[in-house]
Structure 1
C-alpha cells in the first residue's frame, strides 16, 4: 500500500487499527484530540492510588487477540481475576446475577412467593417478540423481579424509560447484566454453568490503561499526534474523503481513512454537509456520558471483595461502584484502597455540570448510607468525565444508525471502527479482532 493510513482517534479502537497496520508494515498516522492516548480506557494516577476510567475487563474470547495483548504487555501480563459482583438493595447484598438462594435470603416471604408464581406463569405462557426493553424484562423475569433489579437500574443507566429502549440494549450483556444468565440462575440453573461476564476476566497488573500504552509503544509514539482535534472532513461530493482539517487550521490529504470518532460527530464534520434528512437523523441519535467520583480511603484496606457493586434503587443516582484493588493489588498501597462510582448523565445536565464539592458530598453520603464507610472516615477525592461512554439504543435508533452508516458508505476510503463510530456495543477484544480484519482487507485490496 502506497498511501499512508490515517486513523482518527487514539482510543482502544484507533490504537488497535494502528497496531495491526504497523504489523503489516503500512505507513500509518494517528490523530488524537486529547493530550494522551487511551480514550475512555485509561488508567490514571491519583496520589498513591491508580484507577481506570471505567470498570474495564478484558475477556479471553479471542485466542489470537489475547495472545497479541499478552505479547504487548510483557511483564505487565494479564492475570485472571475471579471477583463476583453484587447488587446493593435495601441494605442487603444480592449476588449478581441473583441466584435463588440470594433471593431467598434478601426478599420477604410474600415477595418471594410472588416472584415464584410469576416465574411459573411466565414459563407456561407463550409471547410474541417484545417491542421494547420493559416488555422484554417483564416477560422474562416477571414484573416483580424486573422492577426490583432491572428496570430502575436500566433507566438510570440509559437516561430513558425502559419502554422507550430497544430490546437490543440487552444484547449478550447489559453492562455486566446478562439477561439469559439472570433467568437461568433465578430458575435454578447451576451457577457454574451460567456465563458470568462480570466476575471472571483478565486484567493487567498495573491497570487496564496499560493495554493502550503498550499498544501505542508498539505502533511508535512518533506516529501518534496528540492535541490534534479533527475539525473538518472535506469530500467535495466525489465519493472520497480528500482531506482532514486539524485544529481548525491545518489541512492534511488522506488516503485510506479509519474513523473511531462518534458516528454523529463524523456527520457534523463533513464538508459539504449531508442532506437535511441525514442531519436530522444524526441529531436524534445520542450517547450517554459518565461522571466518575473517585474516593481514596487511606484508613481502609478494602471496601468489599467484589469486582463491582450495583445500585439498583432509583433514589441512588450512581449505577455502580468498582474497587480497583480487587482487580490488582498494585492499584492501591497496602492497607489502603480506592473506589470509583459511576454517575450516568447527559451533556449539559445537572450531574454533568455538578461541581466537584457537591459530587464528593453525594458520593460520600451514598457510601455511608450503604454502610461501606464510616461517617467520620477520612477520604480524598477527585473526579473524571467520561464522554460518549455508551450509545443509547432507543426504539428505532438502530434503524437510524444503519441509515447514517449507509450514507457514509458512499465514501470508499472511509472505514468506521469502534463502539462510538459504529454505534454498537463492543468490547476491547472485539475491537482488536475487527481492526485486524480491516487491515487484512486493506492489504488484500491494495
Structure 2
C-alpha cells in the first residue's frame, strides 16, 4: 500500500516535490497537494487580465544547475521555430530540431534576451553596471571620478560585513552604492540597508561586484562553460510561451495524470498539522473556502507554507514560547503589481538591439529615481510576445511596488492606487496618462521573506522543526529564505531524496542556496 505525503502549497517547491515523488518513489509514495488559493504556481503564477498576461514578480528560467534546466525543458520543450517577434524582425536563434512552433503550439519554451537596465537621472544605465562609455557619460565626469576613488577606497579598507550596506560598499564603493543600491534597497525592504543583514546580499548577488564585472568583460571571449556565469550577468534565459504559471499548470496536470486522480487540490488551506506521540506528523487538517474542515492521514508532511503560519498550526506537540514568538514575528514584504495597457511608451529604443516599432528592449527596468515609489517596471512584450493580446499595437507593462500588509500602499483602493502609479510613471517621463487603455491591480501577501528582526533567531525554529522527523520545510516561505525559483525547486528535490532513501538528517535541505556548490557549479 502506498504511503501518503501531504504537501502544503502549489508553488514551484510544492509541485516539484509532488512530481519528483511520483517519478522517484516507484509508486510507493502518493502525494496530495493542498493550495489555499484557486491559482497554481504561487508567486510564480501567471495572471490573465483580458487576454494580457502578467508574470508576478518576473521569472527568468535560468539556473547554474543543469538538472533544473533539463527539468524545465522536459516539462516544456524548447522551440523548434522562431517566436513571433523574432520572426517579424528576422532574428536568428538556435532552434531545437522538430521542436514545437510557438505560433501554433502552446507547450513550448522560448529563448529570450536578458535585457535589464536601471532608470536613474531620467537616463538608462546597464544592469549590472557596465564599463561602457555611455555609463560614464550618463554619470557625468564628477560622479565618475567620485565613483572611481570610492571603489579604490573600498578595496583598500574593507568594512565588516555586518549589514547589507557594508556588503554593497565593499563590492562597489560608497558612491556607486549610494547611486544604484541604497534607495532601491530601501524601496524593496522598507528599511535602510544599514539595518538589513548582509545575508540577503550573499544569497541574491553572491559573487557580483565591480571587480566581478571587470573580470566578466576580460574573460568572456575565452569562456565556453556558461554555467559559471553569475546569475545577474546572464545574457539569455528560457521562458514559457505564456509565462511561468503556464509551466506550473502543466506540472500540476502531469501530477494529476501520474497519480491517477485529483492530487492537486486548490481552495484548501492547511489549518492544522497533527503530531502523534512519537513526534511524527500523522494527519493534516484542511479548510475549504466554505469553512468545511477535512482530515487527511499522512506518512510525511512537506511544507512550503510560511513558518509564521506553520508553527501555530502544529497540534499535539508543545512549541517552546521563544520558538513560537520567533516564527510568528518573522518579517515579510508584500508586493503590488499594476498592469497598464498602452498604445506606446514615451521612452524609445536607443540601444543597438533591434526591436519591434522601436520599443525599449528591456524585460525589467529598475526605477532608481528618488521622487517616485515604484521599484521596478516590467515590459511583458519583451518577456514573450504571446503575453500580450495585441502585440503589434499595444504595450503591456507591470509597475511593481513593495509594501507591508496594512500600510498606506496596501490599504489604498484599486482605483486610487492605479491613478497614483500612472501619475508616477508619467512624472518620470515613461508614459502619457491619457494613453492608458486598460489597468489592473494585483496584491501578493508574504512575497519576500525579510532579513531583519526575528530572522536572526531563525535557527531556533529550524532546530525545533528538525525534531519532527517526517516534516520537511521547503521553498522560499517554507524556509524563510529569499530563494530564486531554481533554489526552491532544489529544496524540494533534496527533501524527496531524503524521503525515498530514508535519510533522517535535514541538513542538505536547509543548505540549498547557502553552499558554494549551489551557486557556482553544475
Residue 200, structure 1, aligned to residue 236, structure 2:
yes
Moved more, 101-110 or 28-37: 101-110
Could you say which structure has the greater relative contact order, defined with CA pairs below 8 angstroms and 6 or more residues apart?
1
Residue correspondence of structure 1 range 27-46 to structure 2 within 5 A: 27-46=30-49
- Deviations, residues 360-417 of structure 1 (Å, cap 9, x unaligned): 11221222123222243133100111222111112772x4122111111111110111
Q: CA deviation at 1:223?
A: 0.8
Kept in 1: contact 2:274–2:314 (CA 8 A): yes
2:201 pairs, out of 159, 170, 179, with 170
2:409 pairs, out of 339, 351, 367, with 351
2:371 pairs, out of 295, 315, 330, with 315
Kept in 2: contact 1:14–1:30 (CA 8 A): yes
Residue 73, structure 1, aligned to residue 73, structure 2:
no
Mapped to 1, the partners of 2:109 and 2:202 lie a distance apart of 26
Residue 267, structure 1, aligned to residue 311, structure 2:
yes
Aligned match of 2:119: 88
Residue correspondence of structure 1 range 95-134 to structure 2 within 5 A: 95-101=126-132, 102-125=134-157, 127=158, 129-134=160-165
User: 1:172/1:286 Cα in 2 relative to 1: closer, same or farther (>3 Å)?
Assistant: closer
Aligned length: 441
Kept in 2: contact 1:98–1:186 (CA 8 A): no
Q: CA deviation at 1:306?
A: 0.6
Query: Which ranges of structure 2 fall in alignment gaps of 5 or more residues?
Result: 78-99, 101-106, 222-228, 346-356, 504-522
1:431 pairs, out of 488, 495, 502, with 488
User: 1:173/1:97 Cα in 2 relative to 1: closer, same or farther (>3 Å)?
Assistant: same
- Deviations, residues 193-243 of structure 1 (Å, cap 9, x unaligned): 763446532111221111101110110161111111111112256411222
User: 1:197/1:288 Cα in 2 relative to 1: closer, same or farther (>3 Å)?
Assistant: farther
SS in 1 for 2:435: coil
Query: Which ranges of structure 1 fall in alignment gaps of 5 or more residues?
Result: none
RMSD: 2.4
User: 1:308/1:198 Cα in 2 relative to 1: closer, same or farther (>3 Å)?
Assistant: farther
TM-score, normalising length from structure 1? Answer: 0.92
Mapped to 1, the partners of 2:214 and 2:129 lie a distance apart of 6
SS in 1 for 2:191: coil
Residue correspondence of structure 1 range 328-367 to structure 2 within 5 A: 328-332=384-388, 333=390, 334-367=392-425
Aligned match of 2:296: 252
1:50 pairs, out of 53, 60, 69, with 53
Kept in 1: contact 2:335–2:445 (CA 8 A): yes
Aligned match of 1:283: 328
Aligned match of 1:297: 342
Aligned match of 2:64: 61
SS in 2 for 1:251: strand
